[in-house]
Amino acid sequence: MTTIKNEGSPRVLFAAFEAVPFAKTGGLGDVAGSLPKTLVQNGADVRVIMPKLQDIPEKYKKQMTHVADFYFYLAWRNLYCGIETLELNGVTFYFIDNEYYFKRSGVYGFGDDSERAAFFAKAVLESLRYLDFCPQIIHCNDWHTSLIPSFLKIFYQDCIMGSALADELPANDENGKPYDRAYRSLRTVFTVHNLKFQGVFSPYLAIDTLGFNMEEADSCGLMHNNAINFMRGALCLSDRLTTVSPTYAGEICTDFYGEDCQDIFRYRNGVLSGIMNGIDTSVLDPETDPNLPAHYSIDDPEHIFPEKGKVKAALQERLGLEVNPDKPIYAIISRLTDQKGLDLVLGIIDEFMQLDVQFVVLGVGEHKYEEKFRQMGEFMPSKFAAALYFDEGLSRMIYAGADFILVPSLFEPCGLTQITAMRYGSLPIVRETGGLKDSVIPYNRFDGSGTGFSFANYNAHELLFKMKDALDLYTNDRVAFNQLILQAMAVDYSWNASAAKYAELYKELI
């Protein structure tokens, strides 16, 4: 039987390929896990739809119940689609089941990712005929879901959804209006989390996989530079475009940051907005984090520094560094890729390590970075630790135990690292770009304001000078340094403010 939650708020289906705690490869997984949760807590009717991936932990798979199964055509392929559901933290999740596409280890990176994304997009739209939920808005995220607006336009605009459950749906919605089950009135929001990956494929895919002819593909804006570009369809057709910080929303309209989509962002600037990501502060909490050997909270400032000191000592011990409270620890927790500004770090690291400091790297990525950091760790093991793997628990120890976290990115749509650092009381040193610029208030030594350190230009020595400024504060004015930490920890990093902005945007659409 259809349930109607949260009277009066828009009904939103949030489509993503990953969502915490079911699957995560990056920031999108965090957002899809925590934004809908906050929206629902604040009274919205938002449900999430994602693939039933093999790697979803067994304990969640066991809780899923079957909603429907059916077949649909994707171009010439007649494909099975199952829908399963479960509720977690008040949020209803729907899982699209097809073992051929999703029973594999991993989320992305397969030779047929284009077909998997096309299948998922069409499955989301087909599922609206079977769900006990009649969304007014589909909120799509990144290129894997970006075909939804194109399919909607070409295949569904004149169809009726919810027909399978028509008898069960009440005649009117919670406002007394008749349910509008027409796909035609469905609105779409598309959020760019990562503009680097747009889903660019051979044009032959249009006919073979999507079932479009060239004119149809062109009418959706999918054709670009003799290729088919999934994301451009969503950028052209979605009713609203968002990205994950206000500064980045401006930057992607420029040639430097626009990744060849700046023309669309400029043209559609009126529907583009930047909404800063939050973090799940119930999980990322130094007061309760089970990964930490000692705990502290901004609500009890007196105990912060003694307890953080214990974490620092445990971190130094664990990584084989000299255990010494007076050595400042600079850290990187990152994918080791060019985006993250690591060539700047390589440019100055030898010079910087001549100072009386310690350095920690936790990351996996490109060989040139891993190799240099490994060498540094071998060359000076009491000062430099290279942990070249993925370890969530260790990352929390570093956020809590380090003094400074470096994020000198070339571009950064939002960035969770600097936000998590401030939440745990380590000071970010960032380049002023995207979400880094929006979230870190640079230290002002005249009035003591700020929550971290920042520099403007993509220049290795600007980074070095800022790292030295930070060292100067740490060494010569511990009172001001500690005060800066308290200021960083006191900021509200939860989703509440941003979720309210999404709720507002949804309301404007219906």
Contact footprint for ligand ADP (CB under 6 A): 26-27, 333-335, 362-364, 390-392, 395, 415-417, 420
Between 20 and 164, whose beta carbon lies closer to ligand ADP? Answer: 20
In the complex, what is the shortest distance from the CB of residue 508 to ligand ADP, in angstroms, rounded to a whole number?
Answer: 27
Both tokens assigned to 372 = 């240099």
In the complex, what is the shortest distance from the CB of residue 196 to ligand ADP, in angstroms, rounded to a whole number?
Answer: 9
Other residues' Cβ atoms within 10 Å of the Cβ of residue 348: 18
How far, in whole angstroms, is CA 80 from its chain's centroid? Answer: 30
In the complex, what is the shortest distance from the CB of residue 61 to ligand ADP, in angstroms, rounded to a whole number?
Answer: 25
Between 113 and 142, whose beta carbon lies closer to ligand ADP? Answer: 142
How far, in whole angstroms, is CA 367 from its chain's centroid? Answer: 25
The enclosing H or E element of 51 equals strand 45-51
Between 243 and 417, whose beta carbon lies closer to ligand ADP? Answer: 417
* Torsion on CA atoms 59, 62, 63, 64, rounded to nearest 10: 130
Q: How far apart are CA 510 and CA 182, in angstroms?
A: 14
Q: How far apart are CA 312 and CA 294, in angstroms?
A: 10
Between 141 and 420, whose beta carbon lies closer to ligand ADP? Answer: 420
In the complex, what is the shortest distance from the CB of residue 282 to ligand ADP, in angstroms, rounded to a whole number?
Answer: 15
Between 51 and 413, whose beta carbon lies closer to ligand ADP? Answer: 413
In the complex, what is the shortest distance from the CB of residue 388 to ligand ADP, in angstroms, rounded to a whole number?
Answer: 8
Continuous H helices in 220-278: 230-237, 246-251, 262-267
In the complex, what is the shortest distance from the CB of residue 420 to ligand ADP, in angstroms, rounded to a whole number?
Answer: 6
In the complex, what is the shortest distance from the CB of residue 24 to ligand ADP, in angstroms, rounded to a whole number?
Answer: 9
Tokens 């879901």 identify what position?
A: 145
Question: What is the side-by-side strand order in the sheet with 223-224?
Answer: 200-201, 227-229, 223-224
Q: What HEC string does 402-431 produce?
A: CCEEEECCCCCCCCCHHHHHHHHCCEEEEE
Between 141 and 150, whose beta carbon lies closer to ligand ADP? Answer: 141
Expressed in angstroms, the distance from the first to the final Cα of the chain is 25
Which residue's CB atom is positioned nearest to ligand ADP?
Answer: 27
Q: How far apart are CA 500 and CA 253, in angstroms?
A: 25
Between 172 and 288, whose beta carbon lies closer to ligand ADP? Answer: 288
